Amino acid sequence: MRIVRIATIPFPVLHHLDGEIRALAAAGHEVHVITSRAEGFDRIAALGTASVVAMDIPRQISPLRDLVALVRLYGNLRRLNPDLVHSITPKAGLLAAIAGWLCGVPVRLHSFTGQAWAERKGAVRWLGRLADRVITGLNTRCYADSVSQRDFLVAEGICGPGAVHVRGMGSLAGVNLKRFDRTRLRAAAMQARAGLGIPQNAKVIAFVGRVTRDKGIAELVDAFGRLKNAALVLVGPLEPERDPLPAQTLAEIERNPAIYPTGYVPNPEHYLAFADLLCLPSYREGFGIVVIEAAALGVPCVGTAIVGLSDAVVGGKTGLLVPPKDAPALAAALEKLLADDNVRDAMGTAARERVVSDFDSEKLEAMLLREYTSLAGGNQPRP
């Protein structure tokens, strides 16, 4: 089978879809990847893809560039003549749905990982909703990475019941338990912590993701300022052009010596492995893959009670959930778990057991292979 995976940027391909791509290639399928030439692009070929095609896929609304990208994508799909196209990320999903339908690709799939329009108003929200309707209408099948996200799409009138599916218990592609293994990572974690200069007696709260407003960073920094004898490690890039942080939050990150921003790192597991807690106070998520990555390392999460995170965190068992945009509630939850080693350890153990049972990437990869073969009418790998 000839398969094309499409993403707006290389990041999700490298960090979340790598296992799936390797599994597909190992099964004898021909896999091509189309994405923008951004950071990480040159490393995608090492996943075992037949080709990596560079395309300018704008993340923001840009009518002229979007039209050019659509024409180029149509041309690439005509040239590759795939049996199946599977997209991820909003803009790539919209362009792939249209181009794949125009090209007559037999199987067209998309995975939703959260709705960027959920926190927007006006024309941007309207256009985002319209795009998701096009995606669900033109594709053979769509997936959501959590049950609550699927239910949100139905409740918002984006699609009807049964139009969007969830693989297994959710998540985009599960967790590679060999990569996220605390014992294997012990030395690397100690080195990463020492490199930041975090005091040995400090309890560590980790955040992993885009350091932006909609990830709840303003509330996290506010809440952290209410805690004592703790360190906050912010792992991920600032995106000031898309969703800038308030000036006072940026100033506090720079001023507070107990806050350690790392920027983008290719190995976030090294930082999660020395954390006592993960905190993900987002306003919106599809699932929150970092939650189960941390859970695989025995690290519980304090998150927000929103669509997606309510699937990733079992409140009171694998972590705590608080209302979004509520810094005092967030501070209270963080303080509660940091102060009680026994409760925190029990939650970490329960979180890891849940990942092993429900989110092992090898199980989800096998499920994907079966679904691809079934949807493609039993097509076998091309000779």
Give the single-character DSSP code of 27. T
Residues 189 and 121 in one domain: no
Give the single-character DSSP code of 118. G
Residues 200 and 338 in one domain: yes
At 200-238, the pLDDT tens digits run: 999 999 999 999 999 999 999 999 999 999 999 999 998
Residues 354 and 366 in one domain: no
| 79 — pLDDT class (breaks 50, 70, 90) | very high
Query: The domain spanning residue 76 has which CATH number?
Result: 3.40.50.2000
**pLDDT at site 379:** 55
Q: What is the mean pLDDT of the chain?
A: 94
| 240 — pLDDT class (breaks 50, 70, 90) | confident
Encoding tokens for residue 295? 């859970």
- The answer, yes or no, to whether residue 348 has pLDDT greater than 90, is yes
Does any domain span residue 382?
no
Does any domain span residue 380?
no
**pLDDT at site 306:** 96
Residues 141 and 225 in one domain: no
At 7-61, the pLDDT tens digits run: 999 999 998 999 999 999 999 999 999 999 988 899 998 888 889 999 999 988 8
d(CA 288, CA 141): 22
Residues 349 and 232 in one domain: yes
Torsion angle of C-alpha atoms 72, 135, 14, 280, degrees rounded to 10: 140
- The answer, yes or no, to whether residue 285 has pLDDT greater than 90, is yes
Residues 227 and 344 in one domain: yes
254: exposed, middle or buried (Cβ count in 10 Å: 0-12, 13-18, 19+): exposed
Does any domain span residue 140?
yes
3 state SS for 54-102: ECCCCCCCCHHHHHHHHHHHHHHHHHHCCCEEEEECHHHHHHHHHHHHH
- The answer, yes or no, to whether residue 96 has pLDDT greater than 80, is yes
Q: Which residues pair with 53 in a beta bridge?
A: 34
Residues 67 and 157 in one domain: yes
- The answer, yes or no, to whether residue 162 has pLDDT greater than 80, is yes
Does any domain span residue 383?
no
Name the nearest CA neighbour of 134 among 89, 92, 77, 94.
94
Residues 126 and 24 in one domain: yes
* CA distances (Å), origin 53, targets 7, 22, 201: 11, 17, 48
Which three-class secondary structure state does DSSP give residue 305? coil
* CB count in 10 Å sphere of residue 7: 26
Name the nearest CA neighbour of 207 among 248, 151, 245.
245
Instruction: Report yes or no: 77 and 85 within 8 Å, Cβ to Cβ.
Output: yes
d(CA 333, CA 138): 43
Counting the structural domains of the chain, the total is 2
Does any domain span residue 61?
yes
Residue with the two structure tokens 């994405």: 35
Q: Name the pairing type of β-strands 301-304 and 319-322.
A: parallel
Residue with the two structure tokens 């190995």: 267
Residue type, 57: I
| 383 — pLDDT class (breaks 50, 70, 90) | very low
* CA distances (Å), origin 138, targets 84, 117, 191, 208, 225: 14, 20, 49, 34, 48
- The answer, yes or no, to whether residue 302 has pLDDT greater than 70, is yes
Does any domain span residue 370?
yes
| Rg (alpha carbons) of the chain, rounded to whole number | 21
Does any domain span residue 79?
yes
- The answer, yes or no, to whether residue 381 has pLDDT greater than 70, is no
Encoding tokens for residue 85? 């196209």
d(CA 348, CA 354): 10
d(CA 352, CA 354): 5
d(CA 73, CA 33): 12
Instruction: Report yes or no: 179 and 269 within 8 Å, Cβ to Cβ.
Output: yes
- Written as one string, the DSSP assignment of 318-332 is TEEEE-TT-HHHHHH
Does any domain span residue 11?
yes
- The answer, yes or no, to whether residue 382 has pLDDT greater than 60, is no
Q: Which residues pair with 279 in a beta bridge?
A: 302
Residues 140 and 193 in one domain: no
d(CA 156, CA 255): 42
Residues 116 and 192 in one domain: no
169: exposed, middle or buried (Cβ count in 10 Å: 0-12, 13-18, 19+): middle
d(CA 150, CA 290): 19
* CB count in 10 Å sphere of residue 268: 22
What is the residue range of 351's domain? 182-358
Mean pLDDT of 112-140: 93
Residues 42 and 162 in one domain: yes
Residues 119 and 187 in one domain: no
- The answer, yes or no, to whether residue 97 has pLDDT greater than 70, is yes
